[in-house]
Structure 1
């Protein structure tokens, strides 16, 4: 039985989890159309995550997938973090605001969140995926015992091999074109910056696991290209941001529909990890600051606060407007219509 058959899909389309942007309404719509909807739970505590799962199940009885962060928890570097906050102070002042007195971690890694793990084992989502690394062996065993299929985002053949050895059921090949956070296990390691198509083909040839291609794929032709290289499915994120079911705010939607879509950039400034974003005031600021960015996710505390201050003042250009290099191809359609169009385009190819 193929991976898609095990999940019960009729279309080889995965919606990217996109924490903070994906919603139960979006996930359910994609799943109802035959793809695999997704929820990004990495930014949620166990109660909020359970509520999102329950709401999605109220909207669909089809499978969907949930995604968790498994980043290493960084130590506090008070001097480095103070220097970063001082460097951001003028940008805060532009919005008549003050930076936080100190940074904290807004997200807890699954590696240290037993409450989320226990909730997942109770809720038994069909598919659980991991970003930034692999789960502890005991955590993977518990989820597998609960009946969950396990997927890992990888950016290199070496990471794919580690995922295979860890007993993952499939890998998501995240190319350098992809929007949002780069899923590298070690964000400070050398990055070969493999493209989606090159990485997909390498993993199809070298790995025994099914491969889901992710990064820069926006339409049926892109899905077909990934399938022609041996992927079993394609994962699309930016393509769904413009859907009314997503939680993207008005500033994000306007930027995606405008000239900013032609200029994405990989930046650490917003969160502390490399992530592809629409070029905006925050990404430009990040290129000029003379001090090193604190580690993820502690830097994100400052990034979120700076965005909130400017958003309150009517300036949307400090948001985490994650988007892949295919952003100009985004279509602002309801998710069911977009799924129908993607499937029709794929059939036409």
Structure 2
């Protein structure tokens, strides 16, 4: 299967979904310029997701990617959650605030959200991608029957095989360099932490479906290397973080370009799942806490509350400033301009 041809792409370049950062304007700009734009819908809910999809469709007739989260629903533990809030309380107090009295499971997993599946079948964005796992095989078949390709992320061979068994059309090989949440199916299983190119090689060797490289890729030369290892396409997120159309706020953008922060690191303290973030105040706080982290996305409820309290007090270092290891090469400009520069670099590298 030729993914680029099937999606009518000028280049085999995909913008990563990036929930909370991607916008309809970003996704449409990338798709219109010859790549595959994307929306992160994991935090949106059915009505919000439908609104984002329709806003994107109003800006492009080309396919785009709608991404959903397939994590196991949270296992609640009142004592763990109370201990976590107590551990965060001194930091809330710094900002003249108190932690929430209780935490909530703020995102509903796609695996139990039939209404979200029905909405995606109705709206048919062209591609639906899955993170943290896969839903029932029948749901994937229904999405495909409605005219969507279905992609799923994998961080190792076992996950990739599960994706193939579920019937997906392509596998996103998420290397350890990627920004944002690790796509691991089970956070309690030891992460092999495979670099992107090594993971691509492993998956290409054992998988029948096309493999999409993701993680640490910032320019055309990076993409050419991934394609040279057998990838059918490349997915880039951090490359678009500072584009004109991003929803990232000014503090997030400033952090991306702050050399004193150092490279992004993995943390579970913000959301409850391992995610690569700029080395901001929340990451440093988490490194010093010894309380057990509650399940995802319950922890994220506390994280969002702490960020809101900090921002209200004029502090901007407690946000989910996700970024990949290539952040030192982040670009500014319109999303289409960035996509075209990456594509031109790929053309030059392959000439």
User: In structure 2, what is the equivalent of residue 228 of structure 1?
Assistant: 228
Deviations 1:126-152 (A, max 9, x none): 100000001112321221221211100
Structure 2: stretches of 5+ with no match in the other structure: none
CA-CA distance at 1:75 after TM superposition: 2.2
For this pair of structures, how many residues does the alignment match? 349
CA offsets 1:299-334 (integer angstroms, 9 cap, x no match): 000000000110111111000000000010101111
2:300 aligned residue: 300
Find the aligned partners of 1:95 and 1:12 in 2 and give their Cα distance.
46
**Matched-pair contact (CA < 8 Å) for 1:23–1:245:** yes
Write the distance in 1 (CA, Å) between the matches of 2:277 and 2:117.
30
Partner of 1:18: 18
Partner of 1:51: 51
Q: Tell me the secondary structure at the aligned position of residue 101 of structure 1.
A: coil
| Residue 328 (str. 1) matches residue 317 (str. 2) | no
> What secondary structure sits across from 1:59 in the alignment?
coil
2:127 alignment counterpart = 127
Question: Is residue 150–residue 170 contact of structure 1 (8 Å, CA) maintained in 2?
Answer: yes
Task: Tell me whether 1:266 sits opposite 2:263 in the alignment.
Answer: no
Deviation at 1:124, TM superposition (A): 1.3
Aligned to 2:319: 319
CA offset digits 1:101-141 (Å, max 9, x no partner): 01101100011212211111111121000000011123212
Tell me which residue corresponds to 1:63: 63
Cα offset, 1:91, TM superposition? 0.7
Calculate the TM-score normalised by the size of structure 1. Answer: 0.98
Alignment of 1:109-258 (within 5 A): 109-258=109-258
Partner of 1:79: 79
Tell whether the 8 Å contact from 1:260 to 1:280 is kept in structure 2 after alignment. no
- In structure 2, the CA distance between the partners of 1:233 and 1:187, relative to structure 1 (3 Å rule), is same
Report the Cα distance in structure 2 between the residues aligned to 1:169 and 1:313, rounded to whole angstroms. 47
Report the Cα offset of residue 260 of structure 1. Answer: 5.0
CA contact (8 A) 2:13 2:35 kept: yes
Q: CA separation in 1, counterparts of 2:281 and 2:207?
A: 41
CA distance, structure 2, for counterparts of residue 12 and residue 313 of structure 1: 44
Gaps of 5+ in 1: none
Distance 2:2 2:320 in 1: 36
Q: Aligned equivalents of 1:213 and 1:141: distance in 2?
A: 24
| Partner SS for 2:14 | strand
Structural RMSD (CA)? 0.9
- TM norm structure 2: 0.98
Contact 1:262 1:327 in 2 (8 A): no
